[in-house]
Copies of this chain bind each other. A is one copy, B any other.
Amino acid sequence: MITLKDLANTLGVSVSTVSKALKDSPEISQDTIKRVKEIAKELNYRPNTLALSLKNRQTKTLGVIIPDILNPFFANTLYGIEQQANKLGYNIITCISNESFTKENDSINLLSNGSVDGFILSISQETQAKDDLNHLKDLLRQDVPIVMFDRTSQSIECDKVVIDDFMSTFNAVNMFIEEGRKKIILINTLGDLSVAKLRVLGYKTALEKSSNTNQEPIIINVDNAKDVRGYIKNMCEVHPDVDGVLCIDNKSGLVAVSALNRLNYNIPKDVSIVGFSSEEFSYLSDPVLSTVTQHGEEIGAVAVDMLVDRLTGNKKKPVSTTTVDFTIDHRGTTLKKS
C-alpha cells in the first residue's frame, strides 16, 4: 500500500501538495504536477478507499441480501445488480440469507454501521412467514435507504421493484384459455410467499372471469420442490384430462415437462405447460419450456438505479414502486407461437 505520504517523502514535498497535484489543482505549478503524477504512476499509487469513505461519509458500496443464490431468478438479479452498480461506481457486499430470518437479520445489523450506503434486498421466506420486519424498520429509522425487490412488504415504506405477479398468471391463464384449455392446474412450491399469493390470485381470477370456461381452480401445493414429479404423476391419475399446467417457480416447469412426456402426453398438443424461468434454463427441457419471464437482470439494474438515485439525488422524495414488465415467452410447450 503506497500512500500520499510515501509520495511526498520520495519527492520531498508535503502531503497536501501531492494531494492537490494529483487533482490538478491550480494552486500547484505544472512542473510539480507533472513530477508528482510521474512518480505516482511509477509507484502505482492508488488512493485508499477506506480513508476516502471515512472522509466523505459514503462507502460507494451497496449491501445486497439475497434469499437463495441457487434460484436462477435471484442469480439473475444479482448479476444485474452487480453490473449496474459497477457501472455507477459502486461495489456490492453480498449476503445470502438462505431463507433464514436470523441470517438476514444478522447480515443487516452487521452492515448497517456505515459499511454500506444502502441496501437492496428480497426478504427471506422465514421473514415473510414470521412477518417480523423490525430490522428493516430500524434501518429506515436510521435513514439507511432500502430498495426491496420481488418479495416486498407493504408495511415497509421504501422504494420497490417488482413484477405484476397478479397479471403474470392472469395473462398466462388467459392464454391457456385462448388455446382452448379446459383443465388448467397450478403447481405452487412457494408456500405463502407474497408473490405466490398474488400469482395464485391471478390464476383464480382469470378462471373466474372467463366466459369460455367454468373450471374450478385446482391448486397443488408442494412443500419440497423435489417432490413435484410425484405430485404431477398423482395429479394425472386424478385428472387425466389435464390440458394446462402452470408452474409458478423457477424449476417445476422443467420437471412438469419431463414428467408429462414420460406419461405419454403430447406436449403441447395434449397439454400446455408454462413455468416461471429465464431463458438460460428453459432449454433444458424438450420441448423447450415456455415461460413467464421475470427479467431479473433488469430488475436488479432498476433496483440499483433507484437506490443510487436516492443516495445522490433528492433524499426526501416520496418512495415509489417500479413495475418491471414480465414477458410471456412462447417456446415449445405452448401452442401459440409469437
**A interface with B by C-beta (< 8 Å):** 1, 46-51, 53-54, 57, 59, 61, 69-70, 72, 75-76, 78-79, 82-83, 86, 91-96, 98, 106-107, 110-115, 142, 226, 229, 251, 254-255, 257-259, 261-262, 280, 283-286
- Interface pair B48/A114, CB less than 8 Å apart: yes
User: Cβ of A50: which chain B residues have Cβ within 8 Å of it?
Assistant: 50, 53-54, 59, 114-115
Q: A93-B92, A226-B283 are in contact. Are A258 and B255 (CB under 8 A)?
A: no
Partner of A75, one of B59, B70, B93, B107: B70
User: Cβ of A229: which chain B residues have Cβ within 8 Å of it?
Assistant: 283, 286
**Chain B proximity of A311: nearest CB distance (Å):** 15
User: Cβ of A1: which chain B residues have Cβ within 8 Å of it?
Assistant: 57, 113-114, 142
- Interface pair B70/A82, CB less than 8 Å apart: no
**Chain B proximity of A112: nearest CB distance (Å):** 7
User: Cβ of A283: which chain B residues have Cβ within 8 Å of it?
Assistant: 226, 229, 255
The complex places the Cα of A69 from the Cα of B261 at a distance, in Å, of: 30
User: Cβ of A95: which chain B residues have Cβ within 8 Å of it?
Assistant: 82, 86, 91
Known: A1-B57, A69-B75, A82-B96. 16 other contacts (CB 8 A): A1-B113, A1-B114, A46-B113, A48-B54, A48-B114, A50-B114, A69-B78, A78-B94, A78-B96, A86-B95, A91-B93, A91-B95, A92-B94, A93-B93, A226-B283, A258-B258
